[in-house]
Amino acid sequence: MANKLVARKKIATHIIRENSLVKKKRSLKRVVILVIIICMLIAATVLLILHFVLNGNSNYPIDIGIYSYEIINKYNHIHDPIIGKQANVDSIIHQRYINNHPFTQGLLYIDGNTLIESSGLYAVSYLRKFKLNTGATERYYNLTNNYFAEGIALVVEPETYRKFIFVLTYKENTILVFDYNTFELYNTFEHDLNGYGLTSNLDPIHSIEDLKNGKFANYQKLWTTSGSEFLYELEIPNNFKKTNKINIINKKKVTCAGFTIKHINELEYHLQEKTIYANIFMTNLVIEIDISRGSCLKIINLSGLIDQNTNKQKTERNRESFLNGIAINPVNSKEALPNLLVTGKFWPNLFEIKLVKTNGMNPNSVLVEYFKTIRHNNP
């Protein structure tokens, strides 16, 4: 009997030990699984952080402001019949062109009511200075038939502090250099990119003496785009007459909400924030770009603005009537959120708009139009 009790105790002890081992194994298994899950979560978090850091937007989505607009003023965008009439222009091209409004490629203020604009298309491209309130052209230059004008920028020659207007050309790998006061063609530079947008950090209302005293040439900058996802910084030669080519000295990939943004087009530098506003070609979107990182700080949705043009039906029917052209009035360029002057290709109007912040919107929902455009044009 005693032996049986001892045997039962041994069996019970063995069972208890076995159960204890099973429980320990199960606990260990749970711990291992938990550790694996934690490691996977940490790895995923690290990869996500790296994704946004490498795409130049480590603060997504907190820092991206979503904006709509309110129209403050509406101006006539007049195609002056005295300009854009180059010699030997095909009659069909000429007729198509003179019946429309400027094919805006570049737009910049030089004072509160005076702007310089470049208008594109082969055989009818031009550069003009005009009054905003009347649309009257004060000075112009018709480009030769082989040039398609693109973005423009105001630049000072470092050696002399003389002001010039740089005009990009589309596929000619050429920048045309015009005297600011006379609009005479001064020189041409070769460069390695297709031309889309161009801007500089020059304040147009500063006098030559102010620029000299502030040694502006030491920190003057010039940026361009080629229709790709990059914002390029171009060198500024010391003497514009002795230079035949300018080179790329830096480039940044432009991203928004962690996504690479292609089709960066017309540019406008914002003096106060030291950022760049940019059209995204073939969309109704404008983004504000952090130059040092390439990431977007604001997405501005201008959907519906084309419908506010005087001749809405004609503008909408034109397949090339994309939003294009951004300018900041130097009078309010020191504001953190300045009004913008915007227009489009063949648009009969220019619009001064106030930016209105839209709360509670995810950047991805605003970028849907961009993604659709990319898919449509890159099958």
User: Is residue 59 scored above 50 in pLDDT?
Assistant: no
The predicted-structure confidence for 275-334, as pLDDT tens digits, reads as follows 999 999 989 999 999 999 999 999 999 999 999 988 766 655 566 778 999 999 888 778
| 124 and 184 both lie in a single domain | yes
**Number of domains the chain is built from:** 2
| 33 and 79 both lie in a single domain | no
| 48 and 131 both lie in a single domain | no
User: Is residue 196 scored above 70 in pLDDT?
Assistant: yes
| 22 and 90 both lie in a single domain | no
**Which has the higher per-residue pLDDT, 223 or 204?**
223
Alpha helices in 130-282 (DSSP H): 208-213
User: Is residue 348 scored above 70 in pLDDT?
Assistant: yes
| 143 and 3 both lie in a single domain | no
55-76: average pLDDT: 74
Give the domain extent around 39.
1-56
Task: Tell me the DSSP string of 311-371.
Answer: THHHHHH-TT--EEEEE--GGGTTSSS--EEEEEBT-SEEEEEEEEE-TT--HHHHTHHHH
| 76 and 136 both lie in a single domain | yes
pLDDT of residue 1: 58
| 98 and 203 both lie in a single domain | yes
pLDDT of residue 238: 94
Percent of the chain with pLDDT strictly greater than 90: 53
Q: Tell me which of 2-11, 149-158, 325-334 is least confident.
A: 2-11
Q: Tell me which of 125-134, 140-149, 153-162, 365-374 is least confident.
A: 365-374
User: Is residue 244 scored above 70 in pLDDT?
Assistant: yes
Nearest to 141 by CA among 132, 129, 154, 152: 129
- In which residue are the tokens 């000295």 written? 249
| 205 and 297 both lie in a single domain | yes
pLDDT of residue 379: 37
Give me the CATH number covering residue 200: 2.120.10
* Mean predicted lDDT score pLDDT of the chain: 83
218-229: average pLDDT: 94
| 199 and 319 both lie in a single domain | yes
| 172 and 268 both lie in a single domain | yes
66-72: average pLDDT: 94
Sheet holding 149-157, edge to edge: 149-157, 162-169, 174-179, 185-190
The predicted-structure confidence for 47-56, as pLDDT tens digits, reads as follows 655 555 454 4
| 157 and 26 both lie in a single domain | no
Which of 35, 56, 77 delimits the end of a domain?
Answer: 56
CB pairs under 8 A, 24+ apart, for 202-206? 202/153, 202/154, 202/155, 202/156, 203/271, 203/330, 203/333, 204/108, 204/109, 204/110, 204/111, 204/154, 204/330, 205/110, 205/111, 205/330
| 140 and 281 both lie in a single domain | yes
Nearest to 66 by CA among 273, 341, 346, 362: 362
